[in-house]
Amino acid sequence: MRSFSALAPATALIVTAPIAAFAASGSVEDPSGDGSLGKKLDVTSATLRNNPKGIKIVVKVEQVASGSVYVYLKPKGHKRFTVTSEYDPVEGTIKNGLIKGGSVSVPCSKINATWSTSGNSITIRMPANCVDDGEYDDVKYKLATERLNGRDVDFAPQAGDDDTWLWSPFIARG
């Protein structure tokens, strides 16, 4: 398995009951083949786990390739946050970040992302205290991928004939 790690969907939603780690989770599915650049970074599903210690997002794609994933988080009653992860296999780097609202960079050095080329997945973990000092409960999300050249690849979840970009329903904090 080749994997890289660094510190620094028509829509179907499945909300599961809290599991052993007391995390609620919500998954979205996105049709394969709807990415603008073929298989590269074409999102097929994503799952967000919202637990007291933080948020874990697993994004499944048709094929991992150089580029970025943006996970937009909307905690109920709070401003939107965007978790970013950029993978450049040529440079051998992964750069992670967090933005509040549309433009304010938030210090959060403990965001961890793993881009797995063999598993065709991107896993991002972020401590709860990065989002308004951990003072949030339910959260909804949506995501986008793009290539390093800035060209959009896919948006998830999407629905309808016009591919409307949707938010997931809120996911309780476990």
Nearest to 163 by CA among 13, 46, 28, 31: 31
Cis amide bond preceding 169, omega within 30:
no
Residue 32: inside a domain, yes or no? yes
What's the confidence (pLDDT) of residue 14?
36
DSSP code of 63? B
174 residues of the chain, pLDDT tens digit each: 444 444 433 333 333 333 344 569 999 999 999 888 899 999 999 999 999 999 999 999 999 999 999 999 999 999 999 999 999 999 999 999 999 998 899 999 899 999 999 999 999 999 999 999 999 999 999 999 999 888 889 999 987 667 788 999 999 998
What's the confidence (pLDDT) of residue 13?
36
Which residues, listed in sequence order, are joined to residue 1 by a DSSP beta bridge? none
Query: Three-state DSSP class for 88?
Result: strand
β-strand pairing of 67-75 with 54-61: unpaired
Phi, psi of 44 (to 5 degrees): -110, -30
Residue 142: inside a domain, yes or no? yes
What is the reported pTM? 0.85
What's the confidence (pLDDT) of residue 115?
97
Residues 6+ apart with CB under 8 A from 39: 61, 62, 63
Residue 170: inside a domain, yes or no? no
Nearest to 61 by CA among 82, 97, 35: 35
Residue 119: inside a domain, yes or no? yes
Residue 62: inside a domain, yes or no? yes
Residue 171: inside a domain, yes or no? no
Range of the domain at 84: 3-165
Number of domains in the chain: 1
Residue 172: inside a domain, yes or no? no
Residue 22: inside a domain, yes or no? yes
CA-CA distance, 137 to 172, in Å (whole number)? 6
Q: State the chain's maximal CA–CA distance in angstroms.
A: 41
